[in-house]
Structure 1
Amino acid sequence: MMELLAPLNAYLVAQFGPTGPMMALVVLGGLMIAAVLPALVRRKPDPLDRLHASAGLGPQRDIAKSPERAQLRLDAGNDKLEKFAGFLEPQTAEEMSEAMMRMTRAGYRGKNAVRTFHAAQFALGIAFLALGVAYSFLTSTGEVSTTTLLMSVLLPGGFGYYLPKYWVERRIQVRREEIQNGFPDALDLLLVCVEAGQSLDQGIIRVSKELAQGYPALAEEFAMIAHEIKAGKDKIQVLRGFGDRVAVPDVNSFVTVMIQSQTFGTSIADALRVYASDMRDKRVMRAEEAANKIPTKMTLGTMMFTVPPLLIILVGPSVHDMLDTFDKLNSSM
């Protein structure tokens, strides 16, 4: 056996250096994992596991087949990722709820959003890892150090794995900023609707329509509130859900004010008027704070892009004349 592997080992060392056999083993292991993974996902349940599950033996039951796990999965219909749900979705109700909330805050409300997110992480991680391996094979002309190999293979894989997470976090940040910037205008519109004689529910519907062009994320949230109230859900629960979804301090304060007004029977118009005024003042203060930061941020750019050209214009002719003078002195001597 060693006599058969010796020529292959020598060929790999000659082509890719001392790390050639290790690179070949990494590629072979990746291919074996890719070949075995679908079979593991599609494997039939063990009859012994069914017997343990029916007998109610908790420690020996498969978590993915337990009733608690079954409740976490939503009916995906013809979803192509349904057969990979046990591999792509969280295994506990708390983790599933947290993942769903994070995807909702990013604007992805589909029932398969969590599954798609983890599938994208897995696919991009494998794809960038394969690209790193291919890059190492194609660009290596001699001996390749282990550090270079790890950097060229593992770094792209990690980048591909964390790219969807960065995208989701960026989406959450952008939506929060949009909701925070548009919330004072939404309160003013809601106050106008309430003072005009409309109920709070009708005002929310009207605000969702008016804000669809300027602040689509906030309009979507108000539209969801209106649909949940129409469906018969308790208004206090709807408002609390609104605050949990957006996770913006101003919205959470508004939810608290509305719940207190609903509970104690105080005037909603008065509460909205006071709170809308406070939100306008806060927006002005945030604008002033951002304006005060501009000179500090522009200092570095001014020094980098203004001072060097200015020095060239002012000092350049003098330096040129000095060089000419030195050349004339050297030629005369």
Structure 2
Amino acid sequence: MNITAYIPEPEKLSAMMAAFAAFSAVVTVSWPYMFRDNLAARLHKVEGEQERIRQRERARLNADKRPVSLRAEPRKLFQEIVDRFNLAKQAEDGEIVNKLRMAGYRGHAPVTTFLAVRLISPLAIFAACLLYLLLIVRPVAPLLLVVAIAATVGSLGYFAPAIFIKNRITKRQKSIQRSWPEALDLLLITVEAGMGIESAFRKVGEEIGMQSPEIAEEIMLTTAELSYLQDRRQAYENLGKRTGVEGVRAVVTSLIQAEKYGTALGQALRVMAQENRDMRMSEAEKKAAALPPKLTVPMILFFLPVLFAVIMTPAAIQIAGIP
């Protein structure tokens, strides 16, 4: 005989719930004894690992006794050459320093390297050219004439560092001109969002770095100068001098005026961004307009002879009577 058949349905439900509650209470009480908590051991292990990492880094830093400096030192050989021949006077007028800054080289080391290389280059090119003429070409001309030719070629080495710096400046200015309108758009957004000019420059420098490292470098340097220079106008003027780009100088003038008279900067930046964008477009149009004259000589040299050969060959074959 089934006894549960005589138990009412509500009483069955109550019994099942009581049995489940008793089972849950037993599991809860016995759980810490059945499964150990290893959290404390894991935390202790992590702390020990962190301490070992600290000790390893301290040992590595103590082993490295080289002085840390943000300013690069010139090579000893170049410094000795500059001091020996008293070449530092050539950089006293500041023209070499300004050109090196426009090319992206700052500090005392690039100036020393430039002066030393400008002195070494003619001698190195002269020696290389003389060895090439005497050992490989072996001309029948007199030795004095060969030496004179080598000296003439070697004298061009004096201008080689200046040509390199000039090309570097041109490439850097083109990169700045290409990305400067986008930098102004970012600067306009940050200024209109309520940021100060220093925070806006810092934000733009962080965001524009992927597109143009040159602009990011100049903007971050300007941010640093705004922080420690007493005259903020000097920081803006330094930005224009370092870049040498007309669009940057125009923006610098607007920033100086806004700093002096307290005028609104947002509208000026919007106008400057549009003007720089128009300048970039006009430069592209000039390059496109100059393309047909540049293609004239290659077409005359390479296309017309082939065209004449294709046209004249059948006629020449017919005249010669070749079947």
TM-score relative to the length of structure 1: 0.69
Alignment of 1:15-164 (within 5 A): 76=73, 79-86=76-83, 87=85, 89-91=87-89, 94-95=92-93, 97-138=94-135, 139-140=137-138, 142-144=140-142, 146-151=144-149, 153-164=150-161
Alignment of 1:1-333 (within 5 A): 76=73, 79-86=76-83, 87=85, 89-91=87-89, 94-95=92-93, 97-138=94-135, 139-140=137-138, 142-144=140-142, 146-151=144-149, 153-324=150-321
How far apart in 1 are the matches of 2:151 and 2:176? 38
Deviation at 1:322, TM superposition (A): 1.5
Which structure has the bigger radius of gyration? 2
Deviations 1:225-279 (A, max 9, x none): 0111122442210000111111111111111111111111101112111221222
Alignment: residue pair count: 251
Unaligned regions of 5+ residues in structure 1, if any? 1-73, 329-333
Q: Aligned residues: percent identity?
A: 29
How far apart in 1 are the matches of 2:290 and 2:101? 32
How far apart in 1 are the matches of 2:286 and 2:225? 37
Cα distance change on mapping 1:319 and 1:283 into 2, 3 Å: same
Cα distance change on mapping 1:286 and 1:146 into 2, 3 Å: same
How far apart in 2 are the matches of 1:102 and 1:242? 14
Deviations 1:29-69 (A, max 9, x none): xxxxxxxxxxxxxxxxxxxxxxxxxxxxxxxxxxxxxxxxx
With 114-123 and 128-137 compared, the bigger mean Cα shift is at: 128-137
Indicate if the aligned counterparts of 2:74 and 2:110 stay in contact, CA closer than 8 A. Answer: no
**RMSD (Å), alpha carbons:** 2.4
How far apart in 2 are the matches of 1:198 and 1:220? 20
SS of the aligned residue for 1:266 comes to coil
With 123-132 and 155-164 compared, the bigger mean Cα shift is at: 155-164
Unaligned regions of 5+ residues in structure 2, if any? 1-70
For residue 91 of structure 1, what is the amino acid of its counterpart?
K
Name the structure 2 match of 1:30.
none
For residue 90 of structure 1, what is the amino acid of its counterpart?
A
How far apart in 1 are the matches of 2:151 and 2:271? 55
Deviations 1:189-208 (A, max 9, x none): 11111112211111111111
Deviations 1:163-199 (A, max 9, x none): 2221111101111111122111111111111112211
Cα distance change on mapping 1:293 and 1:265 into 2, 3 Å: same
Indicate if the aligned counterparts of 1:89 and 1:114 stay in contact, CA closer than 8 A. Answer: no
